Amino acid sequence: MRALILGGAGAVCKEATRDLALTSDFEEIAVADANAAAVERLLGEIGDPRLRPLSFDANDYDGMLRLFPQYELVVNGLPFQFDLTVNRACVESGVNGLDLSSLDEQFGLHAIASEKQMIFVPGVGATPGVTNLMVARAAEQLDRLDTVEIAFAAFRSLAPAPGLLTTTLWEFDPEEEARQQAVYEDGAWHHSPPLSGGKHFQFHDLIGEQATYFVPHDEVYTLPRSFPSLRRVSVRGCFPPRVMELMSALLHTGILGLDTIQLDGREVSAMETIRALLWQNPVSKQNPVWAYGLVVEVTGERAGRQVLHRYRNHHPPQQEWGGESAYYKNVGLPLSIGAQMIARGEVRGHGVLPPERAFRVAPFFQALADRGITIEETVEELSPA
Amino acid sequence: MRIIVLGGAGTVGRAIATDLARQVDTVVVADLDPEAARAAAEGAGARAESASVDVRDRPALVKILQGAAACVNSVNYYFNLDVMQACLEAGVPYLDLGGLFHMTRRQLELHADFKARGLTAVLGIGSCPGVANVQAGWLAGMLESVDSVRIYTGSTQDEGESLAAPYAIQTILDELSMPAMIFRNREFQERPPLGEEEYFTFPDPIGRAKTRLSLHSEVATIPISLADKGIRECSFKITTFGFAEPALRKLQFLVELGLASTEPMQVDGASVRPRALLLQLLGRLPQPQANWSKKTLKAVVTEVRGKAAGQEFLLRAETTGPLEPSMGDLGGSALVAGPPAIAARWLGQGKLARPGVWPPEQIIEPVPFFEELATRGFTTRLIRTQTVAPAGPMKGAAVQAPGS
């Protein structure tokens, strides 16, 4: 079986590439990335003859249609702006695939994908991804799900890679359309501005307690559809305190909400200017702790009693887990695990399915544990009285 | 059913009598001070009557106990053995509120006597010990093996600095001055009083609070009760003994000066026991006005680590509730008073008919007990934490990004 990994030498996805080389039995793993030098370096480091470099243009849709049918699986690690295009090309080519985040439009391809007896799973990283499966784990044990609160702490620098800087800016953009539907409550999605809905969560020991805020995230769309009894779903997130301070300051200047600004008599894009400034600033690359914290709290009913299930991830510290990789592995390893489960046919159906409907939880979490990521489950219930 | 409450005019004794008077035919509020006993009986309700007794006067004590369905011993723990002997003589089931570790260990030695007499004695059935022991037994029952039992108790703090004692001042002074006992590496070990400070997260609104070791009888019995489960560690920690933090610091200072000592010392040619002096001084302080708020809360939390079906678990039981304002100045004692009232009634009803001397974790049925506490406003929650998939040898360890 042959796999194609898109953006496979990028900051996040190279961890998936490494893991595929180490743990999968693919005959061939083609690593496609716009950065040919990065691919060459990565392949040299890994030294697995099954890895093959491939030039690839993410903007060439016809090229995708020619390339994808040569593989049995497409692992998409490109920035989220390409998710829909890659998903569409997979469905059109009839090739299974998965990616790291999801756009709602991707699920519009479900019917065609089902007809073709193929599967595409959007959002198989940390969040979405592991978080969806935490909710699925609770659902396995509850008679009814009532609420889901997801919190993440992305402890990385502000701009370790261009795609991740874009993600950060996106999460603080007050004009971002997705913010109109950031929180699900009582059958509808509601607006939430950046830095709203503040709540403290206790993450694993590398991160500790952090203030988190509403972020428009994929789980808010997929979970209420997968578990229709849900009355409320929200995702809150945070970055390291220094990044949060900086982004908060930028937000309060109002510049993140502007389309354009005047600079030296020229009209330039406000967001692009900020992006360029932050990208060039060495401080944007600094960060003392590289880690990823997830907390998911699910309330519901079991045997007539109200129960709270709380999930928390744990992973080795950066000193033992490859420095900055301690952050990236939390996203890249689930992608590799998901890819291998799809390749082995360990999926629960066909179509375009979110992780909570595509994968069985136990083997997925066991595969995470085998790689150093353990999931802690806490169940709170009232006394029998 | 007639139940005797010894020390029934004390703070906790009154709360027990008040609770029992709602449930049984007759409660006898017995106290050394006849006036105080009368007042306490009047306050407890129509089914309460008073009696005067000195627990050191064995014949008088046996006489008053005869025919009772149970004896609730709420006098100072120093007299626990005396009262137990009187119960043996009178043929009355016995319970108390604790023996501060060392006394409890001596009381357990009466097991054979109680067994031979066909009587049941329950040691330490208040909140701590009491609720904590039942929690520990409950959680341990869900596990095949137990590694540790850690007990914590705390309450929302009064903002005042009053040194007025929230419960038996003699016991508090002992807790502050006597070495704490812990069970570690399967051995009982001494630690300095108030040692091993630890910030612990209680349920809201108590939240994160400083706790410290204290001499308590849970540690005396739980390691023995759970020995067959392989228990290696047991400890008891408390926040501020019901004082506000500044008041506790003041009291600690007085204890460090030696004012809690019971050893006589010569002052201007006279023999003075420092503790007697301290008690005199504390007794002169004005009693604080009860100032209950809805936020006022007490919590007993027990965490048990162990294994079941090959998996490691952290089980946590939290019993929390308001310091019941409807009970006025007895509200703070409600969680201490509820358990002995429940156990006394059960003893009287023959529900605890297993002759011998037992710690609560060995004789009290947890779920009905927590259900009874719930009717008094105390909620018990069970929190189970486990690792979903235990990590094996780590895959991917061989491939690390050099310098990444």
The predicted pLDDT at position B325 comes to 55
Are B166 and B309 part of one and the same domain? yes
Are B242 and B112 part of one and the same domain? no
Report the C-alpha gap between A131 and A137 in whole angstroms: 10
Inter-chain contacts counted by CB atoms under 8 A, chains A and B? 109
Residue B400 lies in a domain: no
Do A327 and A290 contact (CB within 8 A), yes or no? yes
Are B120 and B179 part of one and the same domain? no
Instruction: Assign A263 to helix, strand or coil.
Output: strand
Report the C-alpha gap between B234 and B147 in whole angstroms: 9
Instruction: Assign A6 to helix, strand or coil.
Output: strand
Are B167 and B67 part of one and the same domain? no
Chain B residues lying within 8 Å of A340, measured CB to CB:
none
Q: How far is A349 from chain B (nearest CA, A)?
A: 24
Are A180 and A299 part of one and the same domain? yes
Are B207 and B306 part of one and the same domain? yes
Chain A residues lying within 8 Å of B371, measured CB to CB:
383-385
**Residue type (1 letter), A74:** V
The predicted pLDDT at position B177 comes to 86
pLDDT at B256 over 60: yes
The predicted pLDDT at position B273 comes to 86
Element of type H or E holding B31: strand B26-31
Using only C-alpha atoms, chain A has a radius of gyration, in whole angstroms, of: 20
* A131-to-A305, B78, B228, B287 alpha-carbon distances in Å: 24, 56, 40, 54
> Tokens standing for A271?
């967001």
Instruction: Supply the range of the domain harboring residue A45.
Output: 2-124+328-370
Tell whether A289 lies on the interface with B, counting CB pairs under 8 A. no
Are A233 and A339 part of one and the same domain? no
Q: How far is B19 from chain A (nearest CA, A)?
A: 19
Residue B344 lies in a domain: yes
* B186-to-A134, A173, B147, B150, B176 alpha-carbon distances in Å: 37, 58, 10, 14, 25
10-residue mean pLDDT series, chain A (385 residues): 96 95 96 93 96 92 96 95 96 98 93 97 97 98 97 94 84 83 92 92 96 94 96 96 88 80 82 86 88 97 92 96 95 98 97 97 96 95 60
Q: What is the CATH number of the domain that holds B333?
A: 3.40.50.720
Window 10-29 of A: residues touching B by CB (8 A cutoff) are: 14, 18-19, 21-23
Residue B272 lies in a domain: no
Are B191 and B308 part of one and the same domain? yes
Are A262 and A218 part of one and the same domain? yes
pLDDT at B293 over 50: no
Residue B399 lies in a domain: no
Are A163 and A204 part of one and the same domain? yes
Chain B residues lying within 8 Å of A372, measured CB to CB:
391, 394, 396-397
The predicted pLDDT at position B159 comes to 57
Q: How far is A239 from chain B (nearest CA, A)?
A: 20
Are A118 and A193 part of one and the same domain? no
Question: Which of B139, B342, B365, B399 should we substitute to test contact with A (largest number of A Cβ atoms within 10 Å)?
Answer: B399
Q: How far is A218 from chain B (nearest CA, A)?
A: 24
Strands A232-238, A209-214: parallel, antiparallel or unpaired by DSSP? antiparallel
Report the C-alpha gap between B404 and B401 in whole angstroms: 5
Instruction: Supply the range of the domain harboring residue B167.
Output: 131-255+288-327+381-385
Are B164 and B89 part of one and the same domain? no
Report the C-alpha gap between B205 and B331 in whole angstroms: 18
The model's pLDDT over B205-253, given as tens digits with 9 standing for 90+, comes to 888 888 999 999 999 999 999 999 999 999 999 987 767 777 788 888 8
C-alpha B331: how far from chain center: 16
Higher pLDDT, B404 or B56: B56
Q: What percent of chain B has pLDDT over 70?
A: 88
B404 pLDDT tier (thresholds 50, 70, 90)? very low
Residue B33 lies in a domain: yes
Report the C-alpha gap between B382 and A384 in whole angstroms: 10
Strand partners, A213: A237
CB-CB: which of A316, A323, A368 is closest to B404? A323
Are B37 and B69 part of one and the same domain? yes
Window 110-149 of A: residues touching B by CB (8 A cutoff) are: 137
Are A190 and A308 part of one and the same domain? yes
Are A87 and A49 part of one and the same domain? yes
Report the C-alpha gap between A37 and A32 in whole angstroms: 11
Window 44-73 of A: residues touching B by CB (8 A cutoff) are: 45-46
Average pLDDT over residues B17-23: 94
Query: Count of domains in chain A?
Result: 2
Are A114 and A155 part of one and the same domain? no
Q: How far is A159 from chain B (nearest CA, A)?
A: 15
Report the C-alpha gap between B178 and B304 in whole angstroms: 26
Are A177 and A55 part of one and the same domain? no
Report the C-alpha gap between B3 and B73 in whole angstroms: 11
The model's pLDDT over B165-189, given as tens digits with 9 standing for 90+, comes to 666 777 888 888 899 999 999 999 9
Cross-chain Cβ contact A365/B388 below 8 Å: yes
**Residue type (1 letter), A284:** S
Helix ranges (H only) for A32-129 are: 36-46, 61-67, 83-93, 110-115
Cross-chain Cβ contact B385/A378 below 8 Å: yes
CB-CB: which of A14, A372, A380 is closest to B394? A372
Are B106 and B157 part of one and the same domain? no
* B238-to-A179, B53, B99, B212, B336 alpha-carbon distances in Å: 46, 33, 17, 6, 15
Chain B residues lying within 8 Å of A365, measured CB to CB:
388-389
Helix ranges (H only) for B144-260 are: 169-177, 218-225, 245-256
pLDDT at B20 over 60: yes
pLDDT at B400 over 50: no
Query: Count of domains in chain B?
Result: 2
Residue B212 lies in a domain: yes
The predicted pLDDT at position B288 comes to 57
Cross-chain Cβ contact B389/A375 below 8 Å: yes
Are A261 and A339 part of one and the same domain? no
Cross-chain Cβ contact B395/A19 below 8 Å: yes
Residue B276 lies in a domain: no
Are B85 and B139 part of one and the same domain? no
Residue B200 lies in a domain: yes
Q: What is the CATH number of the domain that holds A60?
A: 3.40.50.720
Question: Which of B199, B375, B404 should we substitute to test contact with A (largest number of A Cβ atoms within 10 Å)?
Answer: B404
Cross-chain Cβ contact A385/B373 below 8 Å: yes
Report the C-alpha gap between A10 and A13 in whole angstroms: 5
Tell whether A315 lies on the interface with B, counting CB pairs under 8 A. no
Q: What is the CATH number of the domain that holds B315?
A: 3.30.360.10
Do A177 and A168 contact (CB within 8 A), yes or no? no
Question: Which of A205, A365, A383 should we substitute to test contact with B (largest number of B Cβ atoms within 10 Å)?
Answer: A383
The predicted pLDDT at position B198 comes to 93
Q: How far is B402 from chain A (nearest CA, A)?
A: 7
Are A265 and A364 part of one and the same domain? no
CA-nearest residue of chain B to A20? Answer: B396
Q: How far is B158 from chain A (nearest CA, A)?
A: 26
